[in-house]
Amino acid sequence: MIIKYIIVAALALTIFSSCSEDNTSNTTTNPKVDQSKSIAEVATNAIQVGKDYHSFSNPESIKVTHLNLDLTVDFSKKMLIGTAHLDLQKVDQNATQLILDTRNLTINSVTAMGEKVDFGLANGDSFLGSALTIDVPAAADSVLISYQTSPKASGVQWLTPEQTAGKKHPFLFTQAQAIHARSFIPLQDSPQVRMTYEATIRTPKALLAVMSASNDPKSQRDGIYEFSMPQPIPSYLIALAVGDLHFKPMGERTGVYSEKGILDAAAAEFADTESMLIATEKAFGPYSWDRYDLLILPPSFPFGGMENPRLSFITPTVIAGDKSLVSLIAHELAHSWSGNTVTNATWRDLWLNEGFTTYLTYRIMQMVYGDERFEMESVLGRQDLQADIDSLPDKDQIMAIDLRGRDPDDVFSNIPYEKGALFLRELELKVGRENFDQFLLNYFEKFAFKSITTDQFISYLEQTLLKDHSDTLSMQRIEEWIFQPGIPEDAYVPESDAFIIVDQARDAWLEGTVQADEINSEKWVVHQWLYFLNNMPEKLSQEQLTDLDKVFALTKSKNNEIAHSWLLISVNNWYQPAFNRLHDYLTTIGRNKLVKPLYKALSQTPEGKIMAQKAFAEAKSGYHPLTVKANEVFVQ
Ligand code: BES
Ligand code: ZN
């Protein structure tokens, strides 16, 4: 343990000193540094708590409070062209410069009170983009920026008609989290800056625009769409999609937007969204965002889902026909509380968004689908976490991760999600569910529409749960969860009775005492299949793979998660009968979580790499910029 402390300290200090040149000039040292603290505490304190190392902006001097966008969507140029009007609040009355984040934007002009003002666009950083510095006249309380995006904007994907389900119209969607809003809007791209927004979006007449704002399901298709988001949100939640979209209601407050071809299937798959919403409100307090709709994107959407307020963006790869993958909806819905209402102040604090949300997801699944589903999903989540603990370096296993000098896109893992959720589960088990639910309810209320740091969370915990339950909780244990790698000893281990028969079947089959066709699997659900496959030994023989595939038709599985697990086994064991499906999978799906492990596995052998290169070359033009960036390393 002592060695770990020193490693953490050394690492943090090295990174800190290499960053200090460009980052510390206008900030003060964290007053919390205390000589009596442990090395680990000093090391983490060397990070300026609450400082956003991923934004050039200066909200401590001038803060953007409201955004008014007017954008024309030009599909032929692959550009958004128009204006961003920013309302400003001077925090420092003497401040004369507004600093915004941008990436690959062309700034045509900046005006304040109708007059042109001076601005400067810095040279681009490799992943942070370029600071836009605007001279703000003393009397001005807003600026108007005329700009256009680049066709290569990292936060925008432009799809040709052929890349959509309907094949007739083009499609566009944005994905701003973590630091991509700056590639389509000049703004203070930091989760600690909250703003309300309005937008006018001008599109070709046949298309519909939707945003993370109030959407009118009955809106006329006339090519001019108006939106308003009256609650203050961080920039990473601003989102836009344009396409041949249609709407189908699912419940009183819930509905689904998608291309026509998948609308009915999507509405049937996600029909329980309204029940999820009602259950979550009952347990964790009122829903603050009016409607909750889903937008189903084309399969190139790089994530499973994105919690854009009032309108979660969802991959079509979870439409399985049996609601087996709808925990994704519970997850994006849960973000309406943890993330959108109470927001991480910096990307170091991402676990406050994703850990709380993952914990809530399990709870919603239990409320809506029962204990067995809850237990199975908890076990699978724990196994995903273990895979990361076994493979990631220590520094990347820390929940309050040090991201200085790193692109948040490169550090995506299960740690903030599943380790965060397991930590909260431990708190729940130690204080009792009723007390913990009350704590969560108060937490969501207390920090509503605020962006908070890990340290603020810890002090809140100290003043509340910890004070009332000092017999079962300790600060030392809490800090171990948050600031140390690995999982604390004796942490709770989720279990599922439904998996016992699966373990027995797998063991017997591996021993050769039963053949695949003797396994009594007629009643197995998707989660049992995933558990069956994900826990196979690394090496299987061709005979074993053929036996499984013949009996269970795994290569043909229509469930994208099962297909993923099977294709991974197939790559790792060079099972060629699955390779046509593999190629098809890699060239039709762009969800990074599903394709990246396959590219990675293929890249381990020369023959595999050739297959990966072939699939990647074919798929690249249809992949989102994030999926390209995450996978091109495996085909070089
Ligand atoms: N907010 C995340 C997606 C995200 C996180 C984008 C960090 C960029 C940076 C979203 O809610 C999410 O967690 N999606 C998961 C869902 C899964 C855990 C159910 C995904 O896309 O896989
Ligand atoms: Zn999430």
Q: Whose C-alpha lies nearest to ligand 1, atom 10?
A: 306
Across 244-267, average pLDDT: 98
Does pLDDT of 560 surpass 70? yes
SS (H, E, C) 311-376: EEEECHHHCCCCCCCCHHHHHHHHCCCECCCEEECCHHHHHHHHHHHHHHHHHHHHHHHCHHHHHH
pLDDT at position 43 is 56
- Expressed in angstroms and rounded, the spacing between residue 566 Cα and the centre of ligand 1 is 23
Q: Which of 306, 338, 349 to mutate to test the pocket of ligand 1 (most atoms within 8 A of CB)?
A: 306
- Please state whether beta strands 342-344 and 119-121 pair in parallel, antiparallel, or not at all (unpaired): unpaired
pLDDT at position 61 is 98
Q: Where are the alpha helices (DSSP H) in 512-559?
A: 526-534, 542-552
pLDDT at position 31 is 34
Measured from the CA of 307, which atom of ligand 1 is nearest?
Answer: 11
Q: Which pLDDT band, with edges at 50, 70 and 90, does 13 fall under?
A: very low
pLDDT digits (tens, 9 = 90+) for 49-63: 999 999 999 999 999
Say what percent of the chain tops pLDDT 70: 93
- Expressed in angstroms and rounded, the spacing between residue 348 Cα and the centre of ligand 2 is 15
- Expressed in angstroms and rounded, the spacing between residue 539 Cα and the centre of ligand 2 is 33
CA distance 384 to 381: 5
- Expressed in angstroms and rounded, the spacing between residue 306 Cα and the centre of ligand 1 is 6
Q: Which pLDDT band, with edges at 50, 70 and 90, does 7 fall under?
A: very low
The Cα angle at residue 388 between residues 382 and 393, in degrees rounded to 5: 145
**292, β-bridge pairs:** 254
| Whole-model pTM over 0.95 | no
Any idea of the CA torsion for 540, 542, 544, 550, to the nearest 10 degrees?
140
Across 515-521, average pLDDT: 98
Does pLDDT of 153 surpass 70? yes
Measured from the CA of 358, which atom of ligand 1 is nearest?
Answer: 18
Does pLDDT of 580 surpass 90? yes
Does pLDDT of 40 surpass 90? no
Closest CA to 237 of 303, 302, 165, 310: 310
Measured from the CA of 177, which atom of ligand 1 is nearest?
Answer: 8
pLDDT digits (tens, 9 = 90+) for 214-254: 998 888 999 999 999 999 999 999 999 999 999 999 999 99
CA 214 from chain centre, in angstroms, equals 22
Q: Which of 296, 303, 364, 595 to mutate to test the pocket of ligand 1 (most atoms within 8 A of CB)?
A: 303
Does pLDDT of 127 surpass 90? yes
Ligand 1 contacts CB of residue 335 (under 6 A): yes
pLDDT digits (tens, 9 = 90+) for 299-319: 999 999 999 999 999 999 999
Q: Whose C-alpha lies nearest to ligand 1, atom 3?
A: 306
pLDDT at position 44 is 52
String of DSSP letters for 603-619? TTSHHHHHHHHHHHHHH
CA distance 97 to 89: 12
- Expressed in angstroms and rounded, the spacing between residue 327 Cα and the centre of ligand 2 is 11
Average of per-residue pLDDT values in the chain: 93
pLDDT at position 46 is 87
The residues carrying an active-site annotation are 332, 417
Does pLDDT of 30 surpass 70? no
CA distance 314 to 377: 19
SS (H, E, C) 411-472: HCCCHHHHHHHHHHHHHHHHHCHHHHHHHHHHHHHHCCCEEECHHHHHHHHHHCHHHHCCCC
Does pLDDT of 464 surpass 60? yes
Ligand 1 contacts CB of residue 303 (under 6 A): yes
Q: Pick 28 or 101 by higher pLDDT.
A: 101
Ligand 1 contacts CB of residue 593 (under 6 A): yes
pLDDT digits (tens, 9 = 90+) for 470-497: 999 999 999 999 999 999 999 999 999 9
pLDDT at position 217 is 81
Ligand 1 contacts CB of residue 416 (under 6 A): no
Ligand 1 contacts CB of residue 332 (under 6 A): yes
Cα–Cα distances (Å) from 61 to 22, 100, 289, in that order, read 18, 12, 30
pLDDT at position 216 is 83
Ligand 1 contacts CB of residue 590 (under 6 A): no
CA distance 456 to 50: 9
| Residue 36 CB neighbour total at 10 angstroms | 6
Does pLDDT of 10 surpass 50? no
pLDDT at position 33 is 34
- Expressed in angstroms and rounded, the spacing between residue 568 Cα and the centre of ligand 2 is 24
Burial of 513 (0-12, 13-18, 19+ CB in 10 A): exposed
- Expressed in angstroms and rounded, the spacing between residue 540 Cα and the centre of ligand 1 is 32
| Nearest-ligand number for the alpha carbon of 593 | 1
Residues 6+ apart with CB under 8 A from 498: 372, 375, 376, 525, 527, 528
Which 3 state secondary structure label does DSSP give 205? coil
Closest CA to 243 of 308, 293, 297: 297
Ligand 1 contacts CB of residue 293 (under 6 A): no
pLDDT at position 11 is 39
| Nearest-ligand number for the alpha carbon of 350 | 1
8 Å CB contact between 285 and 267 = no
Does pLDDT of 21 surpass 60? no
Q: Which pLDDT band, with edges at 50, 70 and 90, does 39 fall under?
A: low
CA distance 596 to 186: 31
Match 């070709």 to its residue by tokens: 204
What would the two tokens of residue 398 be? 């820390």
pLDDT at position 218 is 83
Ligand 1 contacts CB of residue 178 (under 6 A): yes
pLDDT digits (tens, 9 = 90+) for 532-559: 999 999 999 999 999 999 999 999 999 9
Ligand 1 contacts CB of residue 326 (under 6 A): no
Across 335-340, average pLDDT: 98
CA 48 from chain centre, in angstroms, equals 24
CA distance 436 to 445: 14
